A and B are shown apart, each in its own frame.
Chain A
Amino acid sequence: MYKQGLYPIIRKTASAKGIFDITVLCPEVAELAQPGQFAQLLAPGFFLRRPISICGIDKSAGTIRMVFEVRGKGTEELSRLNEGDNIDMIAPLGTGFGTAEGSAVCVGGGIGVPPMLGIASLYGERATVITGFRNAAAVILQEDFAAAGCETVLCTDDGSAGIHGFVTTALDEHLKSKKTDIIYACGPMPMLKAVAGLADSYGVRCEVSLEQRMACGVGACLGCAVVTEKNGKVTYKHVCKDGPVFDAKEVRFDG
């Protein structure tokens, strides 16, 4: 179940260079939305919509929050929309994160960090959030994770903030010392592959959120295929409907 309509942007900030944070008033969408789902946003002047992950859901305020990066001309147009403007949106879409009893680790890399906020907030103090960025200037959402009660571990590629190194090193340290029931991850494919490998070696369930070039967003056109394998059978599943969240064991990270 999803909705399509024009919804007002009620808050917009720039979180880091080229990263925008918008809150949209859409009670009918907020009511349905689950952590890990996404929205299809129409950028003025472009033909296809842009899939953007839902970062926060406030059912009582009737809002959803999305944090996106300007990657091309379409997202640049989206970034020009301001508070008070309406945004043409189809949401909520896709299959979000499953939940587990016990404690969770959320691993996010770069613009893969925003979809972690919704699921991490469900766990609160039972979640450790390991995030990685290029440098200090690119760091986003740390206060939001802390406000949700999560423990945060910050990594940067150049050491300009937090730990100098990759999220996978921090994840390995964590898994060695603390009991973990589930791992959630979103970020670049090499990072996801490494996280899935660690989860497998520690025997921890792992869910990954993927992206792909997309058209319809609802499961009709079969455009946004990813290669999956289950019980020896290789098939294409679709990011927009089967995902964006997949069991890491099913995903063939090398295609």
Chain B
Amino acid sequence: MADLKVTFAGVEFSNPVIPASGTYGYGREYECLYPLSRLGGISVKGTTLHERTGNLPPRIAETPMGMLNSVGLQNGGSDKFLEYELPNLAGKGTRIIANIAGSTVEECAELAAKLNGSAVDMIELNISCPNVKQGGAAFGTDCTVAGAVTKAVRDASDKPLMVKLSPNVTSITDIARSVEANGADAVSLINTLLGMRIDIKTRRPVLHNNVGGLSGPAVFPVAVRMVWQVANAVKIPVCGMGGISSAEDAIEMMMAGAQTVQIGAAIFRDPYAPVKIIDGMSEWCDKNGVRSIGEIVGTVKPW
């Protein structure tokens, strides 16, 4: 049996597979299918300092081999996370990644500070949500602002800090370098690509928010390209995501340079996707003489 353990930004994961924020809640909805300890970690639903009600429906649109969403960070706020969700997750034997977002730099720092001393293993700072009017992607599309919010959270937090990057930028490597220079311990990418669908009968956008984030297999090649570029541009580790739906996809993403991977929209189609991917990666390693999954990271041989 291949060794799937990885050490990522100083945190040991039993395997590199992590359900992505916003696709897995806080794990409660999937526990009836398999123990959460099967997962390397869980990136929990994006949490803000105060409760957010989210966007008006419809929030979902199907696309060719993918989907758009405009949920708008609906969540119960940081107190509910700390008092209700985190205690439930803490004993489950999986790494807990707190995905956090805020409308101002100060709010992000305050939220990060609230998690100090908690059971959270790592923070994933979301500077890339395309579905909120303030903060969100506005932080992630400008190098100076991305650097400033990273520094503020780094200074406020005693946890390893991963910053989740937006693909809706001219140069994702510039943003990655900026957050690295400001203290990020890791980066995760890609968040969703901004998209739109229109109902031609009503001439209305399908989403009430008009636009939303594209995810699913349709975005996978874009994600592989960006992970490869970023992994070659920074020294901090990369968590790769965007359209992964099979063990082969996860291996491809790791060869591009990701040390861990997140699984998102694939879970909607198959709730067993994360465990099938873990089992498939293990089998692939055995068949290909790979003793430790870490050996394949960044091993793509570019032409």
Whether A221 and B62, one on each chain, are in contact in the complex, defined by CB atoms closer than 8 angstroms, is no
**A47-B59 in contact given A219-B25, A222-B74, A225-B74 (Cβ < 8 Å):** no
Q: Is B220 positioned at the interface, with any CB of A under 8 Å from its CB?
A: no
Q: Is B88 positioned at the interface, with any CB of A under 8 Å from its CB?
A: no
Whether A220 and B30, one on each chain, are in contact in the complex, defined by CB atoms closer than 8 angstroms, is yes
**How far is A220 from B42 in the complex, measured between Cα atoms in Å?**
13
Whether B61 and A213, one on each chain, are in contact in the complex, defined by CB atoms closer than 8 angstroms, is yes
Query: Of all chain A residues, which has the CB nearest B23?
Result: A221
**How far is A223 from B45 in the complex, measured between Cα atoms in Å?**
13
* Count of interface residues, chain B, beta-carbon cutoff 8 Å: 38
**How far is A140 from B68 in the complex, measured between Cα atoms in Å?**
34
A residues within 8 A CB of B206? Answer: 213
**How far is A241 from B74 in the complex, measured between Cα atoms in Å?**
15
Q: Is B136 positioned at the interface, with any CB of A under 8 Å from its CB?
A: no
Q: Which residue of the partner chain, among A47, A214, A219, A225, contacts B269 with CB atoms under 8 Å?
A: A47
Whether B71 and A218, one on each chain, are in contact in the complex, defined by CB atoms closer than 8 angstroms, is no
Binds A, one of B1-9, B49-57, B104-112: B49-57
| Secondary structure dominating the interface of B | loop
Q: Is B65 positioned at the interface, with any CB of A under 8 Å from its CB?
A: yes
Q: Is B15 positioned at the interface, with any CB of A under 8 Å from its CB?
A: no
Cβ of B221 to closest chain A Cβ, rounded Å: 16
A-B contact count (CB 8 A): 100
**How far is A34 from B230 in the complex, measured between Cα atoms in Å?**
50
A residues within 8 A CB of B269? Answer: 42, 47-49
Whether B33 and A47, one on each chain, are in contact in the complex, defined by CB atoms closer than 8 angstroms, is no
**How far is A224 from B25 in the complex, measured between Cα atoms in Å?**
14
Cβ of A125 to closest chain B Cβ, rounded Å: 37
Q: Is B113 positioned at the interface, with any CB of A under 8 Å from its CB?
A: no
**How far is A234 from B56 in the complex, measured between Cα atoms in Å?**
12
Q: Is B267 positioned at the interface, with any CB of A under 8 Å from its CB?
A: yes
Whether B57 and A46, one on each chain, are in contact in the complex, defined by CB atoms closer than 8 angstroms, is no
**How far is A172 from B266 in the complex, measured between Cα atoms in Å?**
47
Whether A220 and B29, one on each chain, are in contact in the complex, defined by CB atoms closer than 8 angstroms, is yes
A residues within 8 A CB of B56? Answer: 225, 227, 255
Query: Of all chain B residues, which has the CB nearest A212?
Result: B57
Cβ of B222 to closest chain A Cβ, rounded Å: 16
**A217-B268 in contact given A4-B33, A47-B67 (Cβ < 8 Å):** yes
Q: Is B118 positioned at the interface, with any CB of A under 8 Å from its CB?
A: no
**How far is A195 from B152 in the complex, measured between Cα atoms in Å?**
54
Interface size classification for chain A: 20 to 34
Most buried by A among B32, B58, B60: B60
Q: Is B81 positioned at the interface, with any CB of A under 8 Å from its CB?
A: no
Q: Is A216 positioned at the interface, with any CB of B under 8 Å from its CB?
A: yes
Cβ of A137 to closest chain B Cβ, rounded Å: 23
Q: Is A141 positioned at the interface, with any CB of B under 8 Å from its CB?
A: no
Q: Is A226 positioned at the interface, with any CB of B under 8 Å from its CB?
A: yes
B residues within 8 A CB of A46? Answer: 62
Whether A225 and B268, one on each chain, are in contact in the complex, defined by CB atoms closer than 8 angstroms, is no
Whether A213 and B271, one on each chain, are in contact in the complex, defined by CB atoms closer than 8 angstroms, is no
**A47-B217 in contact given A90-B271, A220-B25, A225-B54 (Cβ < 8 Å):** yes
**A215-B25 in contact given A4-B271, A46-B62, A236-B74 (Cβ < 8 Å):** no
Cβ of A219 to closest chain B Cβ, rounded Å: 5
**How far is A111 from B29 in the complex, measured between Cα atoms in Å?**
28
Q: Which residues on B are within 8 Å of A, measured CB to CB?
A: 22-25, 28-30, 32-33, 45, 53-67, 69, 71, 74, 206, 216-217, 265, 267-272
Given A215-B265, A222-B22: 14 more A-B contacts, CB < 8 Å: A1-B32, A47-B64, A47-B67, A47-B216, A47-B265, A47-B269, A215-B60, A216-B23, A218-B271, A220-B24, A221-B71, A225-B57, A225-B74, A226-B57
Q: Which residues on A are within 8 Å of B, measured CB to CB?
A: 1-2, 4, 42, 46-49, 74, 90, 212-227, 234-236, 241, 255
The 10 closest A-B pairs by CB, nearest first: A220-B25, A223-B60, A213-B60, A225-B57, A218-B29, A220-B29, A215-B268, A213-B58, A216-B268, A223-B59
